[in-house]
């Protein structure tokens, strides 16, 4: 029989023995060591500052992914993650959106403020976070955006998300939107598609 059976493995001796050791390892030049350190830093709120600091200097995708996954499990990380929506680094912005979508409880507390941010890019990215909420809740938030939003790109993002997960309450607000953007006929097309998707109309 060429197949062999080995004894069960014992826990790896390479695991950092304390949060302090893990923090030291996060400065290692070896991305494998940094990734392992991130995964063993601990799951308490005290880990958030170290993880955020590591995230800002980390360039390895696999280490970044480990950091975002660790942060998404920590409710205290929601606000620091939301701050990354202003980052110039697209990887950080998108990682933050995915992490916040994975933590709907903490994220929903931040969303009203983010959706009213003075920066249109932050409002647009925050609408993507709302996609991760239950349909009724997301619909209410995004309808609020549509009622007050002046940036057409933010509106288009909200329309697209409503087309996917919106409830029928969104339809009257959607129908009123093209009048506010007469110079952007694409809004009317997008609204038609979204309304049909939501109501199930065939044509």
Give the footprint of other proteins on this chain (CB under 8 A).
Answer: 1-6, 8-12, 15, 31-32, 34-36, 39, 60-63, 65-66, 69, 72-73, 101-103, 132, 134-136, 164, 199-202
- Cβ proximity to other proteins: between 78 and 187 the closer is 78
Half-sphere exposure of 50 toward its Cβ, with a 13 Å CA cutoff? 22
Distance of alpha carbon 92 from alpha carbon 82, whole angstroms: 10
For other proteins, the closer CB: 39 or 180: 39
Closer of 134 and 185 to other proteins (Cβ): 134
Cα–Cα nearest to 27, from 5, 3, 58, 4: 58
Write down the least CB distance from residue 73 to other proteins, Å: 7
Distance CA 127, CA 121 (A): 10
d(Cα 174, Cα 134) in Å, to the nearest integer? 19
| Shortest distance in whole angstroms from residue 136 CB to other proteins | 7
CB 132 to other proteins: min, Å? 8
Measured distance CA(142)–CA(84) in Å, rounded? 21
Do the beta carbons of residue 178 and residue 169 sit within 8 Å? no
Q: How far is the CB of 9 from other proteins (least distance, A)?
A: 4
Q: Which is nearer to other proteins, 119 or 169 (CB)?
A: 169
């Amino acid at each position: 029989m060429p197949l062999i059976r080995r004894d069960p493995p014992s826990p790896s001796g390479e695991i950092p023995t304390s949060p302090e050791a893990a923090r030291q390892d996060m400065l290692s030049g070896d991305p494998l060591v940094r990734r392992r350190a991130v995964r063993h830093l601990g799951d308490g709120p005290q880990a958030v500052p170290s993880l955020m600091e590591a995230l800002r200097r980390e360039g390895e995708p696999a280490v970044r992914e480990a950091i975002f996954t660790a942060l998404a499990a920590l409710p205290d990380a929601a606000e620091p993650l939301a701050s990354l929506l202003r980052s110039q680094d697209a990887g950080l912005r998108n990682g933050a959106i995915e992490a916040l979508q994975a933590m709907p409880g903490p994220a929903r507390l931040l969303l009203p403020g983010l959706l009213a941010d003075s920066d249109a890019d932050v409002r647009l990215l925050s609408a993507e976070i709302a996609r991760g909420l239950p349909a009724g809740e997301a619909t209410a938030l995004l309808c609020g955006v549509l009622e007050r939003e002046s940036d057409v790109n933010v509106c288009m993002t909200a329309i697209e998300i409503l087309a996917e997960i919106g409830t029928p309450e969104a339809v009257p607000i959607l129908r009123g939107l093209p009048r506010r953007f007469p110079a952007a006929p694409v809004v009317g097309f997008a609204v038609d598609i979204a309304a049909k998707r939501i109501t199930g109309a065939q044509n």
